[in-house]
Amino acid sequence: MGSTLSHLDFARLRDIRASKPEAIAEAFAARKRREVLRGDGRLFIVAADHPARGALAVGSDSTAMANRYDLLERLAIAVSRPGVDGVLGTPDIIDDLAALGLLDDKIIVGSMNRGGLRGATFEMDDRYTGYDVASMVNAGIDFAKTLIRVNLEDPMTALTLEATTKAVSEAAAAGLPIMLEPFMSNWVDGRIVNDLTPDAVILSISIAAGLGTSSAYTWMKLPVVEDMERVMEATTMPTLLLGGDSGADPDETFAAWEDALSLPGVRGLTVGRTLLYPPDGDVAGAVDTAAGLVHPAGLAIAS
């Protein structure tokens, strides 16, 4: 699939982390920033915040995202492609990318709550263990992201809702856009399963939209499900579509994204594993296909 990083790049990254940690803050301070929306007003964000929640699997490969060097190579390829507006990650990922000099003119989306570890008995207690609003504002991070899984039979949901309310309120006060990724979730055979029926997605939107003292800076991050037209009628908030795990037929996945991207209120895609770990291994090809869906009028507009 090719690579934009070398062994020397990784050696320099390790040296920065060991002996020059202040260089990471310096990289953020020197970074060339951009407006969140420009050109056609649409966004294509590559997501990589899965490992911090203990979610390393892609399809049938349970440790696909475990190799950090491989993941960084895939991210480097992705963010180098025309039409990719930015990247979503936890501080460890974003710090690596900043130290490698890969975030100029890109939107950085900071992932806030990764405490609900996959498979844990406390998974629904999805604590805010990543970025907070103050740290993002200080570092010049452009966007915030939260995960909100609502389980009506698990009391830990209330703690996540309370923490998310605080995050939304603080983001609005700071003028920081924040995307909420809501699901109705249930315990099934000892694991959390998200309900992807249209009615459940609509219910999750209604719950998430009301969080916080202001919704002025709130965006939605929603799965592509059946009856998406009715789903999108549930909110006036700008929405990015999420990609989920790979495994489905790529052509079917891209076709579903293309249909959903035509709906009012949909502003683009936030996709991770599906594009970073495509079945044929061609990261650049998968990213280019998705970029063409988000920015159909021409990639030059978004670049």
* pLDDT tens for each residue of 263-281: 999 999 999 999 999 999 9
Tokens 């050696």, located at residue: 11
- Show me where the domains of the chain are located: 7-302
Task: Give SS3 for 217.
Answer: coil
pLDDT cut 70: percent of the chain above it: 95
Rounded CA separation 212/230 (Å) = 25
Reading the block at residue 296, the tokens are: 């159909």
Mean pLDDT of the chain: 94
Residue 117: half-sphere exposure toward Cβ, Cα within 13 Å: 6
Q: Which has the minimum average pLDDT: 111-125, 256-270, 286-300?
A: 286-300
> Looking at the predicted structure, is the pLDDT value of residue 299 above 80?
no
Q: Which CATH architecture has domain 7-302?
A: Alpha-Beta Barrel (3.20)
How are beta strands 43-47 and 86-89 bridged, if at all? Answer: parallel
The number of residues making up the chain comes to 303
Model confidence at 301, pLDDT cuts 50, 70, 90, reads very low
**Which pLDDT belongs to residue 60?**
87
Tokens 């965006």, located at residue: 219
> Looking at the predicted structure, is the pLDDT value of residue 3 above 90?
no
Model confidence at 104, pLDDT cuts 50, 70, 90, reads very high
Q: Which has the minimum average pLDDT: 56-60, 84-88, 135-139, 289-293?
A: 56-60
> Looking at the predicted structure, is the pLDDT value of residue 26 above 60?
yes
> Looking at the predicted structure, is the pLDDT value of residue 117 above 60?
yes
Model confidence at 300, pLDDT cuts 50, 70, 90, reads very low
Residue 168: half-sphere exposure toward Cβ, Cα within 13 Å: 25
Model confidence at 194, pLDDT cuts 50, 70, 90, reads very high
Backbone φ and ψ for 145, nearest 5 degrees, come out as -140, 135
Question: Residues 27-33: what's their mean pLDDT?
Answer: 97
- Find the DSSP H helices in the chain: 7-19, 22-30, 68-80, 91-99, 133-139, 156-174, 198-209, 228-232, 250-261, 273-276, 283-294, 299-302
Rounded CA separation 16/278 (Å) = 31
Nearest to 219 by CA among 182, 263, 249, 189: 182
Q: What are the beta bridge partners of residue 187? A: 192
**Which pLDDT belongs to residue 246?**
56
Rounded CA separation 67/155 (Å) = 35
Query: Can you give the pTM of this predicted structure?
Result: 0.94
Rounded CA separation 202/179 (Å) = 16
Q: What angle do CA 127, 54, 191 make, to 5 degrees?
A: 80
**Which pLDDT belongs to residue 302?**
42
